[in-house]
Structure 1
Amino acid sequence: MATSTRKPILISGAGLSSLLLAQSLLRASIPFQIFERDASVSFRAQGYRLRLSSEGLDAIESVLSPADFQKFWDTCGKTSGAGGGLTILDALTASPPPALPTEESSEEKANAKPTGPPMSLTSRDGKTIGISRGDMRRLFMACCEPFINWSHHVTAYELTPSGVRAVFADGSKSIEGDMLVGGEGIYSGVAKQVSGGKLKTYDTGARGIHGQAPSTAFKGLGEGVWAVRDTSRNQGDVFAITNVRPGDMDDPTVQFGWTMGSHPGVIRAPNDDYTMIGAPAASIAQELTANWHPRLRPLFEQMDVSEAAFWKITCSTPTGVPEWSNEPRVTVIGDAAHSMTPAGGIGANTAVRDSALLGNLLAEKGGWESGVTEAYERGMREYASEAVRASYGMAKTQFGIHIDENSKTHLTLSPPNPDDQV
């Protein structure tokens, strides 16, 4: 990074959106410091695999150098099958479910609310593009390591006459920066402070489990993006989604991941402790899928028990990103600004759009300047609100959830888990 007399941009959290923003600052020779609560990059698991939309890929490509983007692209998996889209299977028959009626009543049409445009699964070359969070984080972290301060948990900030300081959990403070970007996920103290409490993340009540199994367990499915749904339970539906990529299905040393979700009340962690990992989560996943079709059961019977983990499904205010009084030196990105359900895989793609937009605005000015955060928030609020509405709209159908302003917020949830930070 070139020498600069400017104070650094302070970034809270070393998740995907924070690191991609850091890459943008690196290319523009703008100084920055990242503060991460974890002790190291290997402190905790990186969570499930991400599907990249056209918008997400475009944002990443706009930030990385051509050589770095080529490395990123080469690391991504490219999946074909069923026209590049999602194939839905009945869990008990392993066949597509019966077609549902497409005619809506006049009352249903009248009450229908827009949820934003659907996002195609295919993003480039007619294929579904995916990458593990771990690989994505590793690539975005390249050359940023010297500027990451581990074991620094940002809980708030303090404005100074000519800048801002991050305030840590032990009461100490950072060096003075030109600007602070809160990218520390749904538990962001920066987001709560800068928005005056208007940024909220709600507990939808739905729960899920992440798991992995040798790629050979997926041979019965074959290449494609698959969604499996079990509607046979009185207490609610259970579903799973997986991306089976070509080239690795004969190699038992390679693992593919799957994500299981359910209607509220179906998946419950022992003692309601969703920080538990391993055998308790694996046991529940195997119990729920015990009567699934033999084509599907190997995904769960052969799972790597140690990799199983519970997760809670949260969402920002369904109407979109709220308005708050702009603070010129502080803003938020990623889940800190707009937490989304996993429906549609929109959350991470929206987060990298934040990084690209804010990074571009800072690069244009050569660093922080009054008006940058206002311009960023104006643009972010438009596309992110559309994304939150779309994500929540799909989740209402998939997860059977309903939240409003009176629902429980994330403050009532368990401590942070591996997927809190985008």
Structure 2
Amino acid sequence: MTIIIIGAGIGGLCLAQMLKKNGMNVQVFERDANASDRPQGYRLHLDADGISAIKESLPEKLFELFELTSTNPLAYTTILDTALKLKRRFPIDEYSKTEHHIERGVARHLNVNRATLREILLTGLDDICYYGAKLDHYEADEKGITAFFEDGRIIKGDLLIGADGAGSVVRKQRAPEAKLMDSGARAIYGRIKLEDARKVLPQLCIADVFTAASDARKLILGVGPIIFPVRPESAAQSLGLDRTLNEQHDYVGCIISGRKEFFGSDDTEVRKKTSDELQQMAIELLSDWPSEASSVPAAGEKGSFFYIEMNSSIPFDLKPHHNVTLLGDAIHNMTPSLGRGANVALKDAVLLGKELIEVALGKKELVNSLADYEREMTEYGFNVVRHSAEMGTKLLGQDPLTE
């Protein structure tokens, strides 16, 4: 069986690692020119779903590398007032609606640098990962799948997996009935070097998984730490791996988020702003707050700020297909209010990987495996979409989810 994965994001790479580890024939096609072609974001929070998926997918030494370069924060989501004084500290599994991890005895939380995690997931995939490959469309029949790329490449296989994010080309053809909605929320992301963050933030902001302050408008300042136990550039060598990760420094990720009206009337104009202009906008958005909070974005790294528009999938019934499926944001894109998007994508990858291994062993037919995967994946995936929208409405003034 030849498996084609469209998209070299975290979910697609996790699946590729799992399939390759089990001796399966897999190829990954990524539209970007290279692995660092565009900003991918900073801090990610991984819970038991994400951590266990990575452990199950990676070779043992690469999982050790993952652990060596992951932050072990205190397992709290913390709420502050606009003067950065403590209001409430939630156990994060309570906040994120992952109490079932506690019940199963698997609860664990890490903060990871997205770029470092992606480097680790790409390790050993050089021979099967192809860049500058933007899918145009596919053709599917009972004999297999043919993927047509904009550069003229034509690739044949037995199964096509759309792991190509919220703007998924695969989804638009596989499930044209699927819709995204504008959540009505926007955000400016940046980061603050750890030594500078210590000067402007309380210690619990450096210790907990995530800390947020908000005002009556539901405008939020959120922060989360990345403190490497071992520097990425030396971690691989300490494990005897012939691999060098890119140099990184400790930092605190920073987000200023709220209703789109706070960011101007035209997203197109905001997208044109430079990082410095976005940083200044973030400073101005908090200008009415006490100086303790309004000084936080001013401490950010120059050149680190970027703008995002928050969209959400609208849950729907995914019709079965015999050799095309989806995972991660390509099917259940969600707003980041629960911090679960990456975890659900990683959970998808392992669930689908297990089904495909059953097919390779002759224990199941492909069409049945895909149906079983999609039934379970859409149930838990769209539940998290709903929970994320509920929390986003409560905290950010996000528009209620359209059903």
The reply to whether TM is greater than 0.5 is yes
Alignment match of 1:259 (pick from 248, 255, 261): 255
Using the alignment, how far apart are the partners of 2:387 and 2:251 within structure 1? 31
Alignment match of 1:183 (pick from 158, 163, 170): 163
Alignment match of 1:342 (pick from 306, 314, 336): 336
In structure 1, what residue type is equivalent to 2:215?
T
**1:154 is the counterpart of 2:135:** yes
Using the alignment, how far apart are the partners of 1:274 and 1:398 within structure 2? 24
Using the alignment, how far apart are the partners of 2:28 and 2:228 within structure 1? 37
Alignment match of 2:123 (pick from 142, 158, 183): 142
Residue 297 of structure 1, CA deviation? 4.2
In structure 2, what residue type is equivalent to 1:193?
Q
Q: 1:227 to 1:254 in 2, by over 3 A?
A: closer
**1:323 is the counterpart of 2:314:** no
Q: 1:121 to 1:264 in 2, by over 3 A?
A: farther
**1:332 is the counterpart of 2:319:** no
Using the alignment, how far apart are the partners of 1:311 and 1:154 within structure 2? 24
Aligned partner of 1:168 in structure 2 is 149
**1:95 is the counterpart of 2:85:** yes
1:51-102 deviations in Å (ceiling 9; x for gaps): 111122122222223332222112110112xxx31221112x2213499xxx
Q: 1:63 to 1:127 in 2, by over 3 A?
A: closer
Q: 1:120 to 1:131 in 2, by over 3 A?
A: farther
1:184-226 deviations in Å (ceiling 9; x for gaps): 111112112112x222221112100000111122213213234
Using the alignment, how far apart are the partners of 1:166 and 1:76 within structure 2? 36
1:374-413 deviations in Å (ceiling 9; x for gaps): 121011112112211111111110111224559xxxxxxx
**1:10 is the counterpart of 2:10:** no
SS at match of 2:184: strand
Q: 1:337 to 1:23 in 2, by over 3 A?
A: same
Using the alignment, how far apart are the partners of 1:373 and 1:98 within structure 2? 43
In structure 2, what residue type is equivalent to 1:311?
I
- Structure 1 segment 170-319 matched on structure 2, within 5 A: 170=151, 172-195=152-175, 197-219=176-198, 220-222=201-203, 223-225=206-208, 226-232=210-216, 236-244=217-225, 254-268=250-264, 271-274=268-271, 276-317=273-314
**1:22 is the counterpart of 2:13:** no
Residue 168 of structure 1, CA deviation? 2.0
Using the alignment, how far apart are the partners of 2:57 and 2:249 within structure 1? 33
Residue 20 of structure 1, CA deviation? 0.4
Q: 1:39 to 1:275 in 2, by over 3 A?
A: farther
- The root-mean-square deviation of aligned C-alpha atoms, in Å, is 2.9
Aligned partner of 1:35 in structure 2 is 29
Using the alignment, how far apart are the partners of 1:247 and 1:62 within structure 2? 22
Using the alignment, how far apart are the partners of 1:126 and 1:358 within structure 2? 22
Using the alignment, how far apart are the partners of 2:115 and 2:373 within structure 1? 28
Residue 228 of structure 1, CA deviation? 3.2
Conserved? CA contact 1:210–1:260, under 8 Å: yes
Conserved? CA contact 1:229–1:237, under 8 Å: no
Higher alpha-carbon deviation: 268-277 or 62-71: 268-277
In structure 2, what residue type is equivalent to 1:143?
G
Residue 227 of structure 1, CA deviation? 3.0
1:286-339 deviations in Å (ceiling 9; x for gaps): 11123434443443112122110000111111xx3x223211100001100100
Conserved? CA contact 1:264–1:400, under 8 Å: no
Q: Which is helix-richer, 1 or 2?
A: 2
Q: 1:168 to 1:161 in 2, by over 3 A?
A: same
Conserved? CA contact 1:264–1:399, under 8 Å: no
Conserved? CA contact 2:182–2:312, under 8 Å: yes
Question: How many residues in Structure 1 have an aligned counterpart in Structure 2?
Answer: 370
SS at match of 2:263: coil
Alignment match of 1:85 (pick from 76, 97, 100): 76
Using the alignment, how far apart are the partners of 2:121 and 2:225 within structure 1? 24
Q: Which is strand-richer, 1 or 2?
A: 2
Aligned partner of 1:420 in structure 2 is none
In structure 2, what residue type is equivalent to 1:199?
A
Using the alignment, how far apart are the partners of 1:217 and 1:31 within structure 2? 47
Aligned partner of 2:111 in structure 1 is 130
Conserved? CA contact 2:8–2:29, under 8 Å: yes
Query: What's the TM-score once normalised by structure 1's chain length?
Result: 0.80
Q: 1:246 to 1:122 in 2, by over 3 A?
A: farther
Using the alignment, how far apart are the partners of 1:335 and 1:25 within structure 2? 20
Using the alignment, how far apart are the partners of 2:62 and 2:155 within structure 1? 30
Conserved? CA contact 1:12–1:181, under 8 Å: yes
Using the alignment, how far apart are the partners of 1:247 and 1:238 within structure 2? 30
Alignment match of 2:384 (pick from 384, 387, 393): 387
1:339-358 deviations in Å (ceiling 9; x for gaps): 00001101111000000001
SS at match of 1:312: strand
Residue 280 of structure 1, CA deviation? 2.0
Q: 1:277 to 1:342 in 2, by over 3 A?
A: farther
